[in-house]
Amino acid sequence: MQAAEMNAIRAAEGLLALSQQEELVDLPNCPLSASEDEGDSDGERKHQKLLESIGSLNGKNRWKLAERSEASLKVSEFNVSSEGSGEKLVLSDLLEPVKSSSSLAAVKKQLSRVKSKKAVELPLNKEEVERIHREIAFNKTSQTLSKWDPIVLKNRQAEQLVFPLEKKQSDFVPIEHVFSSWKPRTPLEQEVFNLLHKNKQPVTDPLLTPMEKASLKAMSLEEAKMRRAELQRARALQSYYEARARREKKIKSKKYHKIVKKGKAKKALKEFEQLRKVNPIAAMEELEKIEKARMMERMSLKHQNSGKWAKSKAIMAKYDLEARQAMQEQLAKNKELTQKLQVVSENEEDKGAEEEELLVPDVVNEVQMCADGPNPWMLRNCNSDAKGEIQEEPEQPPKPMVQEFSESEDDERTGTEEEILLQEFEERRSLRKRSELNQDAEPVGSQETKDSSSQEVLTELKALTQKLNKKKHQSRKQKMSSAGTVLQIQREECAPEEEEPLLLQRPERAQTLEDLEDLGHEEFSQNKEFPRPVLKGEQTERNPNNQIDAPKGKKKEEMIDLQNLLTTKSPSVKSLAIPTAIEELEDEEEKHQKQIIKEAFAGDDVIKDFLKEKKEAVEASKPKDVDLTLPGWGEWGGIGLKPSAKKRRRFLIKAPKGPPRKDKNLPNVIINEKRNIHAAAHQVRVLPYPFTHHKQFERTIQIPIGSTWNTQRAFQKLTTPRVVTKPGHIIKPIKAEDVGYSSSSKLDLSVTQSNPKRPTGHRKKQLKKNTVD
C-alpha cells in the first residue's frame, strides 16, 4: 500500500512539474492575444507553435520547446515575454479537450489532492526517537512489574514468612491408591475400617453404598419422609416419657407418690368398671385378683399399726400431727384393702345408670361421699374441695369463684341454698358430658395441684372414692327424690367410715381444719382478693364508673394529667411577665437556672470533698512507722494473743518526718509528689512510632506473652518469629510460579536475539505505528 502511495506521490510530483512547465510554455502565448495586429501569418505561426507545444505534452523533450525562433517584444530572463499576461491558463483548462478519457480524470483528482497536501515533515532526530522508544519500554516494564504489588504487600505485612518459599510439589495420587496402600493398625482404626467395609462404602464416584441404593429404590421419597417423621415422633415421645418417668422417679415426696399410687388405683378401678361392662369374664378374674389381695391383706399384719415404725409413730402421735396422719392413713389403707367387694348386679345398675355411668366419678361423687358423714367440718371441706376443683376448670373465671367460695361457707347450714348449689353442679355435669374426653385427665391433675395444706382431707377423700360405684348405687336405692336429698343421705352413709380415724383427735382436728381453711383463705386472698379491693378503692375514689379493667393505665393517665396541669401553669406566668419587662424575665430565668443547679448538686459539697481528698493525700504521703514485732517470739503466741505493748514499743521503728509538702501553703492545690525517679528511668518517655495513642502502647505492654501466663498453644502463637529460615537451605529469589503467576518472560534471550541491533529505520516505522495504535 505504501508503495502505491509513493507511486501516487511521485506521479503527482511529476504532474506538478509538468504544470509548471506548461505555465512556462504558456507565457510566450500571452502576447498572442495582445498583439493581434501583427497579422495572420504571425498568428498562424503562433498557432502552429501552440499545437506543437501541446503535442509535446507527453513527449520527453519539453525543454527543447522553450527555444525561441524569433525575438519577442519583451525578453524576460526566462526567455519568455510576459507581456499582456492578463489571464493565465489554468491546469484544468488544458485538460479540458481530453476530458472524455477517464484516466485523466483520476489524474486530475490526484492533482487536486496533491495541491491540498502540505510538504512532508522532517523525520525526528535520533535522540527524540530513542526517548520515545524508552518511554514506551519503561511504561511496559512498569506494567509488568506492578503485578508484583499485591505479593510484595502481602509479604511485607505477613505475620510470618517461611523460607525457602517454594513448597514441595505434592504429587497427586488417586484416592484409591492411597486407600489401598494404607493398612489399619490400631484397634480403633481397624474398627472404623471394618465398619466402612461392611457398608461397602464406595471410595470414589458413585457415593452411595449398595444398601443405600437399594433403599432408595425401595422407598419413595414421601413414604420415606412420612416414616421418618413417624419415627421421629415416636422417638420424641419415648424420650419425653422416659424423661418424665425419670423425673417422677426422682421425686422424693412421699405424699406425691401416695397420690400417684392412688390415682393409679382409681384408674384401675375405672378400667375394671369398663371391663366389667365389656368383658364380664375377664372382670371376674380381676375381681378374684382383688379378692386375693384382700385375703393377703387380712392375713398379714401390714397396715395394722403394729410394726416398729407404727409403734414409734404412735408414741409421737400425741404431739405430732403428721405422725397421727400417717397412722390414720395406714389404717385407712388397711380398711380399704380389707373391704369386701360387692358385686353389683346388672339390673340394679341399669335404671339411672346410663346417664350416671358416663359421668366420671370425681368431684360430685366425692362430695356425695363426704356428705354421708355427720361431720360438718368434713362437709365444708368437701365443698371447698369441690370448689377448688371447679376453680381449676378453665372456663370458670376466678373472680366469681372466690365469691362462691365465700358463699359456700354459709350455704352449708341452709338446705335451700344447697339445692341451688347442686343445680349448679348439675349444669356442670351436663357440660362435662359434652367434653368427656378431657375428664379422664382432669381429676388427676386437679388432685395433684391441690394445696399442700388441704392435702390431708384430700387423701381421705380419695380413699373413699375408690368404693365409688357401690356407694352410689346404695345411695340411689335409699333415696332418689332430688339431688339435694341424695347429697344428704350420702353424707350420712359416709360418716361411719370417716369417723374412726378422725375420732380420737377431734378437737385438734377441728383446729387444724380451721387452720387449713385459714391458710386456704390466705392463699386465695394473697393471690387475688387483697390486691383487688385496694385497686377498687382507688378506682372508686378517682372515677366513679368502677372499671376493673386496666386500673394501672387509668392511674398513669391521671399522673399525666397532673403534669399537664403543672406545665400549663408556667406559660401563663410567663405570659404575664413578657409584656412588662424582658429583663425581669431573664433574671427570673437565671434564678431559675441557679435554682435548678443548686437542686441538682444539692448532695455534693465539692469543697468539702476536695479538702477531704487533700487530707487523705497528705496522710498517704506521710512516711509510715514500721512495726517489726514478731508475735510469738519470746512469749506465747496464738490466736487472740497479742504481743505485749512493751515489745511493740521496742520494735516499732518510727519513720522520720518527711520534707514539708509542696502544697502545704496552697489550700486549693494537691501536688502529687509520688513520681518515682528510679522507676522513671525505666519508663518510656515518648510514644513510639507505630502507635497513635498511649493506651495502645500500654495495652501491648500489658499483655504477657510468656508461657507462665499463657497456654502452650497461645505461647507458641505469640512468639512465632517473623522470618523462619531453614539452616542449610538455599533461599532462591521469589518466582512467579511460587506465587501462582505464570512467568512473564518466556526466554529473555530469544527475544533479545530476534532483535539484536538498535532499532533500524524499519523498526522505527513499526514503532511509530504502534504508538499510533
Tell me: does residue 720 bind other proteins (CB under 8 A): yes
Tell me: does residue 710 bind other proteins (CB under 8 A): yes
Stretch that binds other proteins, among 135-143, 270-278, 413-421, 608-616 (CB under 8 A): 135-143
Sites for other proteins among residues 406-435 (CB under 8 A):
none
**Mind giving me the DSSP string for 162-221?**
EES-PPPPPPP--HHHHHHH----SHHHHHHHHHHHHTT--SSSS-S-HHHHHHHHHS-H
Interatomic CA distance for residues 170 and 545, integer angstroms: 89
Q: Which of 599, 748 has the CB closer to other proteins?
A: 748
Q: Which of 187, 571 has the CB closer to other proteins?
A: 187
Burial class (CB in 10 A: 0-12, 13-18, 19+), 529: middle
Among 675, 693, 729, 769, binds other proteins (CB under 8 A): 729
Tell me: does residue 734 bind other proteins (CB under 8 A): yes
Question: What is the nearest approach in angstroms of other proteins to the Cβ of residue 190?
Answer: 15
Cα→Cα distances 264→45, 260, 272, 330, 759, Å: 158, 6, 12, 18, 111
Q: Which three cell numbers stand for residue 477?
A: 336405692
Among 126, 134, 477, 765, binds other proteins (CB under 8 A): 134
Tell me: does residue 740 bind other proteins (CB under 8 A): no
Interatomic CA distance for residues 184 and 674, integer angstroms: 70
Tell me: does residue 770 bind other proteins (CB under 8 A): no
Per-residue binder mask for other proteins (CB under 8 A), 68-107, x = binder: ----------------------------------------
Interatomic CA distance for residues 375 and 494, integer angstroms: 10
* Secondary structure class of 230 (helix, strand, coil): helix
Check if the beta carbon of residue 377 is closer than 8 Å to that of residue 510.
Answer: yes
Tell me: does residue 652 bind other proteins (CB under 8 A): no
Q: Which of 239, 745 has the CB closer to other proteins?
A: 745
Cα→Cα distances 318→307, 314, 323, 531, Å: 18, 7, 8, 40
Stretch that binds other proteins, among 11-19, 140-148, 527-535, 603-611 (CB under 8 A): 140-148
Tell me: does residue 644 bind other proteins (CB under 8 A): no
Distance of CA 722 to the CA centre of its chain: 37
Among 735, 737, 760, 765, binds other proteins (CB under 8 A): 735
Among 17, 106, 145, 420, binds other proteins (CB under 8 A): 145
Among 152, 559, 581, 630, binds other proteins (CB under 8 A): 152
Q: Which of 217, 693 has the CB closer to other proteins?
A: 693
Tell me: does residue 725 bind other proteins (CB under 8 A): yes
Among 728, 742, 769, 773, binds other proteins (CB under 8 A): 728
Tell me: does residue 742 bind other proteins (CB under 8 A): no
Question: What is the nearest approach in angstroms of other proteins to the Cβ of residue 748?
Answer: 4
Interatomic CA distance for residues 617 and 609, integer angstroms: 12
Tell me: does residue 161 bind other proteins (CB under 8 A): yes
The identity of residue 764, as a single letter, is K
**Mind giving me the DSSP string for 542-608?**
H-SS---S-HHHHHHHHHHHHHHHHHHHHHHHHHHHHHH-HHHHHHHHHHHHHHHHHHHTSS--HHH
Q: Which of 146, 672 has the CB closer to other proteins?
A: 146
Q: Which of 163, 610 has the CB closer to other proteins?
A: 163
* Secondary structure class of 653 (helix, strand, coil): strand
Q: Which of 610, 715 has the CB closer to other proteins?
A: 715
Stretch that binds other proteins, among 167-175, 408-416, 481-489, 731-739 (CB under 8 A): 731-739
Instruction: Tell me the pairing of strands 626-627 and 652-653.
Output: antiparallel
Burial class (CB in 10 A: 0-12, 13-18, 19+), 114: middle
Among 177, 250, 308, 757, binds other proteins (CB under 8 A): 757
CB pairs under 8 A, 24+ apart, for 20-25?
Answer: 21/62, 22/57, 22/89, 22/91, 22/94, 23/88, 23/89, 24/66, 24/78, 24/80, 25/53, 25/62, 25/65, 25/66
The full length of the chain comes to 773
Interatomic CA distance for residues 283 and 277, integer angstroms: 8
Q: Which three cell numbers stand for residue 522?
A: 390466705
3-state DSSP helix/strand/coil % of the chain, to nearest 5: 65, 0, 30
Question: What is the nearest approach in angstroms of other proteins to the Cβ of residue 761?
Answer: 16
* DSSP letter, residue 737: T
Question: What is the nearest approach in angstroms of other proteins to the Cβ of residue 134?
Answer: 6
Stretch that binds other proteins, among 54-62, 66-74, 146-154, 531-539 (CB under 8 A): 146-154
Tell me: does residue 732 bind other proteins (CB under 8 A): yes
Q: Which of 676, 753 has the CB closer to other proteins?
A: 753
Among 142, 546, 580, 742, binds other proteins (CB under 8 A): 142
Tell me: does residue 752 bind other proteins (CB under 8 A): yes
Question: What is the nearest approach in angstroms of other proteins to the Cβ of residue 773?
Answer: 17
Instruction: Give the list of residues 6+ apart from residue 73 with CB closer than 8 angstroms, or none.
Output: 31, 35, 81, 83
Among 397, 638, 756, 761, binds other proteins (CB under 8 A): 756
Tell me: does residue 716 bind other proteins (CB under 8 A): yes
Tell me: does residue 252 bind other proteins (CB under 8 A): no
* Secondary structure class of 626 (helix, strand, coil): strand
Sites for other proteins among residues 677-706 (CB under 8 A):
681-685, 688, 697, 700-702, 704-706
Interatomic CA distance for residues 242 and 194, integer angstroms: 33
Give the footprint of other proteins on this chain (CB under 8 A).
130-131, 133-135, 137-138, 140-142, 144-146, 148, 152, 155-156, 161, 163, 681-685, 688, 697, 700-702, 704-711, 715-716, 718-721, 723, 725-736, 744-745, 747-749, 751-753, 755-759
